[in-house]
Amino acid sequence: MSELLLGLDAGNTVVKAVLFDQSGKVVGKAARDGRSSKPEPGHVEREIGELWDNAGEVIAGCLRDAGATGRDIAAVGTAGHGNGLYLLDKQRGPLLGIQSLDTRAAGLAAEWRADGTAATLYPLCLQKPWPSQTATLLAWVKRNRPEIYARAGTAFLCKDALTYMLTGERVSDYSDMSGCGLMRLPERDYDTELLTAYGLADARALLPPLVQSDAIAGSVTENAARRTGLAAGTPVAAGFFDIVASSVGAGAAEPGQAAIVVGTWGINQIILDRPLVDERIFHACTWRPDRYVAVESSATSAVNLEWFVHEILGEHGPDAFARCSELVASVRPSADSPLFHPFLYGSGTEPKARAAFLGLAGWHDRAQMLHALFEGVVFEHRRHIDRLRAAGVSFDRAVLSGGGSRSVAWCQMFADGLGVPVTVAECEETGALGAAIAAGVAAGLFGDIEAGVAEMVKPRRSFVPNRPDGRLRDARYRLYDELATTLAAQWQRYRSEVA
């Protein structure tokens, strides 16, 4: 009997395939970096055809790594970065892939904030428009690239493009479509009033049917089987918005639990049994009608370390990141330590903000700059979490996932900075594991997602707050926050002056 579960996780950069047994043990994996193009300032795109090629290669590589065949796989699940925009043409061929790092629609989002559109949208979808949001990008394409909009036949998300490659089925799930502003909440459905508010009344035909995350979206086609080594007919679950997949894969599946992702995006989410209707808070639904996530997020997390390692240090590979963590652990912060604002791709509240080291002196070295970068990422996560707490969300512990969770030094900084115990799951590939758990439910191996979590998720280590320098840390955080607020206004003024 086929007993293994395959999880695919497609981020903005890397596509991963991870094979699990039903206890959650990794038995094979493969990954491949993709190429992004930046044809204009603020534009970040990928070729959908290359995404499909990379997915086929990593699935085949994962099977080889495990010494398995397609017949050993009970089911496949997918997860992918949320938002951005993936368009197929009317013949269902690849048309345009926009990643969630893209800020081309910043002007449109600002226009909607100014003219009241944003206030109209929030009661409908429990989100405000922002530059990388799928709905905002689709409206931008309609306005600025009408020739592309006219050719479009399908608008969906990254993981949906993978599901289509595997099954030929044009579908999405509730978590992804609610997370990109295209679904009315809490009704959990497409809505004419919502689309009209975006100026997208004619886009309903572009949106695919909705399938529960842990339900079968389709089965592997003969063509996909040849491409990947999977067996034709293998069921494929609809899968997850990757932040929800990571929450599930890290072990947070019950109301009141917090899940933090330290990845390309910094994700801070709390699971709720009903939406918290507060205009400060972004919501998405999950794998069941009585589970929602309240989310505060921005592209201000471990992507900053990736940039520093590649562009400043000129290094690549996991060993480089491990050395950075060791350097950070060697630093004892002081009032003289530099600060870093991790705004390489804008901040959550000001897309025109840019990253900066502040307070650098001639006696600061590489280790202290890296410590500032790690600390700045923690501080920006804390700013997001403070907004969640101000809206009435509470939690007393958190699970941490994403590439940053591999750094012991960073995990301890999160526990100290947030003031709560932090747990890291045994499996580092929490997005792929969450997708595999959904696949297990779809295949009938688990009764529900919670049962799959109980079987497949194991904690690896925990970190408790250690606050001997808590006064210094809090003072540095206040300075960080004040400077971020002040500089945001300066960036706005500067951009308007040079526009």
Strands (E), 244-281: 258-262, 266-272
Instruction: Kindly give, in sequence order, each residue whose CB lies less than 8 Å from that of residue 483, ignoring residues fewer than 6 positions away.
Output: 339, 341, 358
Which residue's structure tokens are 């709390």? 270
Phi/psi at 135 (nearest 5 deg)?
-60, -40
Rounded Cα distance between 255 and 385, Å, is: 16
- Nearest-CA neighbor of 176 among 119, 271, 245, 261? 245
Please state, in angstroms and as integers, the Cα–Cα distance from residue 442 to each residue in 79, 159, 162, 497, following that order: 15, 17, 17, 55
The one-letter amino acid code at 16 reads K
Mean pLDDT by 10 residues, the chain (499 residues): 90 93 97 92 95 97 97 98 97 97 93 96 94 97 98 98 98 97 95 98 98 97 98 98 93 91 89 85 90 91 94 91 96 96 89 91 97 98 94 90 92 95 93 97 97 95 87 95 90 75
The one-letter amino acid code at 22 reads Q
Instruction: Kindly give, in sequence order, each residue whose CB lies less than 8 Å from that of residue 475, ignoring residues fewer than 6 positions away.
Output: 335
Which residue's structure tokens are 């700013």? 383
In this structure, CATH architecture of domain 4-251: 2-Layer Sandwich (3.30)
Q: What is the pLDDT of residue 1?
A: 52
Which residue's structure tokens are 């269902």? 92
Instruction: Kindly give, in sequence order, each residue whose CB lies less than 8 Å from that of residue 118, ignoring residues fewer than 6 positions away.
Output: 109, 112, 128, 129
Token readout for 68 is 């398995």
Rounded Cα distance between 465 and 467, Å, is: 6
Q: What is the pLDDT of residue 259?
A: 94
Token readout for 74 is 């009970």
Q: What is the pLDDT of residue 317?
A: 84
Instruction: Kindly give, in sequence order, each residue whose CB lies less than 8 Å from that of residue 283, ignoring residues fewer than 6 positions away.
Output: 126, 127, 178, 185, 275, 276, 292, 293, 294, 295
Token readout for 443 is 């295949």
Which residue's structure tokens are 């990736």? 306
Which H helix or E strand runs over 96? strand 94-98
Which residue's structure tokens are 């969906």? 156
> Do the beta carbons of residue 213 and residue 159 sit within 8 Å?
no
Q: What is the pLDDT of residue 191?
A: 97
- Burial (Cβ within 10 Å: 0-12, 13-18, ≥19) of residue 66: buried
Q: Measured in whole angstroms, how far is the alpha carbon of residue 384 from the centre of its chain?
A: 15
Please state, in angstroms and as integers, the Cα–Cα distance from residue 183 to each residue in 100, 123, 204, 295, 396, following that order: 18, 11, 11, 16, 31
Q: What is the pLDDT of residue 495?
A: 73
Q: What is the pLDDT of residue 430?
A: 92
Beta bridge partners of 216: 237
- Burial (Cβ within 10 Å: 0-12, 13-18, ≥19) of residue 9: buried
Rounded Cα distance between 239 and 10, Å, is: 12
Token readout for 421 is 């115990």
The whole model's pTM is what? 0.86
